[in-house]
Amino acid sequence: MQELNNVGIYLRLSKDDEKAGESLSIDNQRKILQRYISEKGWNLVDEYVDDGWSGTNFNRPNVQRLLEDAKSGKVNIILVKDLSRFGRNYIEVGQYVDYIFPLYNIRFIALTDNVDTADKQSSGMEMMPIMNVFNEWHAANTSKKVRAVREANARAGRYQAAFAPYGYIAGTDEKRTPVIDEEVAPIVRRIFELYASGLSAQKISQTLNYDGITAPSIYLQNKVGRPRRRTDVCPFWSPCTILQILRNPIYIGEMAQMKRTTASFKNHKIIMKDKNDWVVIPNAHEAIIDRELWDKCQERKKPYRRGRSTKRSGTDPLSGLIFCPECGSTIRLSWNTTYKGKERIHVCYRHFYNCGAYSRAGKLACTSHYIKFKDMQELVIADIRAHAELVLKDEEKARQEFLKRKEFVSSHLINDEKRQYEKALKRLNELELLIQSTYEDKVLKRVPENICTRLLEKYEAERENLTTETEILQKKLNEEKQNELDVDEFIKRIKKYVDIRELTRELCLEIIEYITVDEYTDETDKPRNIHIYYKFLDKQYKKSI
pLDDT of 187 > 60? The answer is: yes
Residue of 458, 460, 469 lying closest to 432 (CA atoms): 460
Q: Which residue has the higher pLDDT, 198 or 465?
A: 465
Amino acid at 49: V
Instruction: Report the alpha-carbon distance of residue 276 to residue 148 in Å, rounded.
Output: 18
pLDDT of 397 > 80? The answer is: yes
**Predicted model pTM:** 0.52
pLDDT of 234 > 70? The answer is: no
| DSSP state letter for 15 | T
What is the structure's pLDDT at 347? 47
Instruction: Report the alpha-carbon distance of residue 391 to residue 396 in Å, rounded.
Output: 8
pLDDT of 186 > 90? The answer is: yes
Complete edge-to-edge strand list for the sheet that includes strand 322-323: 322-323, 512-517, 530-534
- C-alpha R_g of the chain: 36
Average pLDDT over residues 314-329: 86
Query: Quick one: how far is CA 475 from the chain centroid?
Result: 29
pLDDT tens, position by position, 59-100: 888 989 998 998 888 999 999 988 888 888 777 888 888 888
What is the structure's pLDDT at 459? 84
- Beta-carbon contacts of 8 under 8 Å, excluding residues fewer than 6 positions away, are 45, 46, 47, 48, 66, 69, 70, 74, 75, 77, 78, 79
The region of weakest confidence among 169-183, 313-327, 530-544 is: 530-544
Q: In angstroms, what CA-CA distances link 85 with 8, 53, 170, 277?
A: 14, 10, 35, 35
pLDDT of 447 > 70? The answer is: yes
The region of weakest confidence among 15-19, 161-165, 302-306, 378-382 is: 302-306
Average pLDDT over residues 413-419: 66
Identify the band that residue 387 occupies on the pLDDT scale cut at 50, 70 and 90: very high
Mean pLDDT comparison of 80-94, 339-353, 399-413, highest-scoring range = 80-94
pLDDT of 237 > 70? The answer is: yes
Mean pLDDT comparison of 154-163, 211-220, 533-542, highest-scoring range = 211-220
pLDDT tens, position by position, 485-529: 888 888 988 988 888 888 888 888 888 888 999 998 876 666 788
End-to-end CA distance of the chain: 100
Average pLDDT, the chain: 81
The region of weakest confidence among 61-65, 185-189, 289-293, 414-418 is: 414-418
Average pLDDT over residues 533-539: 82
Identify the band that residue 543 occupies on the pLDDT scale cut at 50, 70 and 90: very low
Instruction: Report the alpha-carbon distance of residue 284 to residue 98 in Å, rounded.
Output: 54
What is the structure's pLDDT at 65? 92
Long-range Cβ pairs for the range 235-239 (8 Å, 24+): 236/205, 236/209, 237/204, 237/205, 237/206, 237/208, 237/209, 237/213, 238/205, 239/200, 239/201, 239/202, 239/204, 239/205
pLDDT tens, position by position, 464-490: 888 888 887 777 777 777 778 888 888
